[in-house]
Amino acid sequence: MGNSRWVDPAPLEVARPRLPWWTMLPRWVKLVLLPLALAVVVVWVLAKVVRVVWFYPVSVALGLVTLLLRAWAGPWVFGAVVAAAAVVLFVWWWRDKTTFDVWLRWPRTEFRRVAVYAYQWRTVVRLSSLTASAKGREYLPRLRRTRSEGWRDRVRVRMVKGQAPEQWEARASGLAHAFGSQSCRVRVIRPGVIELDLVHSNPLASAVALPAMGSESAVDLRRVVVGRTETGKPWRLRLLGNHLLTVGVSGAGKGSLLWSVVWALAPLVKAGAVRLVGIDPKGGMELGQVPEIFDRVVYDNGEAAVTLLEEVAADVRKRAATYRGVRRLWARETGEPFTLLVVDELADLIAYQTDKRLRERAQAALQTITSQGRAPGFGVLAFVQDPRKEVVPFRNLFPTRVAMRLDEAVQVDMVLGDGLRARGANAHEISESTPGVAWIKVDGHRDPVRARAFHVTDTNLVELRHYITGGSAIIVPFPDAGPHEGAAA
């Protein structure tokens, strides 16, 4: 013990408590500020209550009714009412699922907002790197209104200051997986606010039945109905003052769109107000099914096809000269028919033609028609499988572009425009079992539209021929025609 030395103990380090600033105020100041503090708390609580009522009105109303009924009627009556309501809802769902889904949209919306989105919102946006930090404070995107439509949820989001919609588009796939959806699309609502379309099922999985032949007065060349969009609305195409380029692999359903357009125009074709001119370089495999409805039709890509293009181009220049100083756009009152040029395989005319002279003549004529033909009443409906620039060098002359099933992801932006695939237009992911499904991009509109053309059968084409030509026949349906058999594709 004699050799032991005293060792000084280590100093005790205790963190100094940091008290709120208001605890240092004099007592009389606290008494003066107490009513103001209580008012702030009351306003904060009321704001939270209003927010809950705003986002969950049905749940709040059902909760209040449940409490009042339980207190007023007792447990036995309350249980009987709940059981009866459950039976009624089940029978309603069983007998008419469509109206059931419509009327229960709000309860479903509120449930999914809480259970799917609000519950994990902070975690998902943090893991997706969609938050921001400044001066030690974290800023999160705010979850706003949610709407559930059965096949998709529309989730409105207020972005963090300084964010761009492109940041959300880059993480759309991860957001879809995080929220249990098939896909996620980003749409801009207004500056700082976006809407996420989280798709759960495919509303275009079933073929869209062709409607009955319309009347002549019902056809509007500015709004030609050719199918149905994924939201259930009619798919309308503008033909007057427009050209359409449709791209898709073999079997994608390009023929469904072609004949849907012709079916819609049939009353005007019969009346002479619309003239159809066709070129089918595949030997007439498509347009040759009903050649009688065309004013002129050619079944190759040689001299006859090029001559026809040059004749149409000459008609464009002639009619434009007639309209100069008189009118700016074709109208039916002019007495001249609207001319629709249908080219079933555009590449065979302007790219695959081995004769350089014919190829250059075809390109020159088509460029004249597409650049000058919209105002004097000429439209082009062109179909092609290869969307590369060297195949269709003047894609920009087609204001409306339709992308059906494509082979590669890079082809989506070739057809629809740069950045469209990032916004959800995944035409390369369209199933082979859904011919006629397409993504549509119209100049002047930021977001593409997904739709499906009508299902046109061989029986419908026979009916179309006899309607326009005035013939008569007994139309016998083809045997065992499934949803994809006997269709124009």
Whether residue 248 is annotated as binding a ligand: the answer is: yes
Whether residue 253 is annotated as binding a ligand: the answer is: yes
The upper half-sphere exposure of residue 449, i.e. CA atoms within 13 Å in the direction of its Cβ, equals: 22
Structure tokens at 203: 């509303």
Cα–Cα distance measured from residue 72 to residue 121, given in angstroms and rounded to the nearest whole number: 39
Contacts of 242 (CB under 8 A, 6+ apart): 374, 379, 399, 400
Helix or strand or coil: residue 185? Answer: strand
Cα–Cα distance measured from residue 330 to residue 64, given in angstroms and rounded to the nearest whole number: 62
Beta carbons of 154 and 195 less than 8 angstroms apart: yes
Element (H, E) at 402: strand 400-403
Beta carbons of 342 and 290 less than 8 angstroms apart: no
- Cα torsion 361, 362, 364, 368 to 10°: value is 140
Report DSSP state, residue 420: T
Beta carbons of 157 and 195 less than 8 angstroms apart: yes
Query: CB neighbours (10 Å) of residue 139?
Result: 14
Q: DSSP alpha helices (H): ranges in 56-132? A: 57-95, 97-103, 105-112, 121-127
Cα–Cα distance measured from residue 173 to residue 346, given in angstroms and rounded to the nearest whole number: 35
Cα–Cα distance measured from residue 237 to residue 442, given in angstroms and rounded to the nearest whole number: 9
For every residue of 426-477, DSSP letters joined together read: -GGG--TT-TTEEEEEETT-SS-EEEEEEE-BHHHHHHHHHHHH------PP
Residues 315-347 as b/e (b if ≥16 CB within 10 A, e otherwise) read bbeebeeebeeeeeebeeebebbbbbbbbbbbb
Q: DSSP alpha helices (H): ranges in 164-272? A: 165-170, 172-178, 254-271
Alpha carbon 95 to chain centroid distance?
30
Q: Which residue has the tokens 């539209």?
A: 449
The residues facing 358 across adjacent strands are none
Whether residue 256 is annotated as binding a ligand: the answer is: no
Query: CB neighbours (10 Å) of residue 182?
Result: 14
Contacts of 473 (CB under 8 A, 6+ apart): 462, 466
Whether residue 180 is annotated as binding a ligand: the answer is: no
Whether residue 254 is annotated as binding a ligand: the answer is: yes
Residue type at position 259 = W
Whether residue 250 is annotated as binding a ligand: the answer is: yes
Residues placed in the known binding site for ATP: 248-255
Residues placed in the known binding site: 248-255
